[in-house]
């Protein structure tokens, strides 16, 4: 079992930046493929970014590519999402997720943190 707790959400103006964190506990964090998802009001949850256990490979949704950066610190059992040049359409609840391999389903989810971007 892996427990995930997100933090760092809040209100930010368009064009601003925000960094989300996801603290993991339980089983070894290092071996897990980690990701960020988001869900806007009235929309389905969507993939934002993911990162391999080593941090060597990262993947991004086209909508955030070049603006968001995912990273992880395995020594601190923490996942990050640096969000720059934020837009009102980035407003959503952001979720941290984990899976045992890159092809597995996303087994573990955090409770989410709200990010609101004002225009």
Task: Give pLDDT tens digits for 12-65.
Answer: 999 999 999 999 988 777 788 999 999 999 999 999 999 998 878 999 999 999
* 18-26 and 2-7 strand pairing: antiparallel
Whether the CA torsion 7, 79, 51, 66 is positive or negative: it is positive
Band (5; pLDDT cuts 50, 70, 90): very high
In whole angstroms, give the CA distance from residue 41 to residue 100.
Answer: 29
User: Closest Cα partner for 97 from 88, 87, 105, 109?
Assistant: 109
Rg (alpha carbons) of the chain, rounded to whole number: 13
Please state, in angstroms and as integers, the Cα–Cα distance from residue 94 to each residue in 56, 77, 103, following that order. Answer: 23, 18, 22
pLDDT digits (tens, 9 = 90+) for 71-80: 999 999 999 9
- Asked whether residue 96 carries a pLDDT value surpassing 80, the answer given is yes
């Amino acid at each position: 079992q892996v427990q995930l707790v997100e933090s760092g959400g809040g209100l930010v103006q368009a064009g601003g930046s925000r960094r989300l964190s996801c603290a993991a506990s339980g089983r070894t964090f290092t071996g897990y493929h980690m990701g960020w998802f988001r869900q806007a009001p009235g929309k389905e949850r969507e993939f934002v970014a993911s990162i391999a256990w080593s941090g060597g490979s990262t993947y991004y949704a086209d909508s955030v590519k070049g603006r968001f950066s995912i990273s992880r610190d395995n020594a601190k059992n923490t996942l990050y999402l640096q969000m720059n040049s934020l837009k009102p359409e980035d407003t959503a609840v952001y979720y941290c997720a984990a899976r045992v391999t890159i092809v597995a389903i996303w087994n573990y989810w955090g409770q989410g943190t709200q990010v609101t971007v004002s225009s």
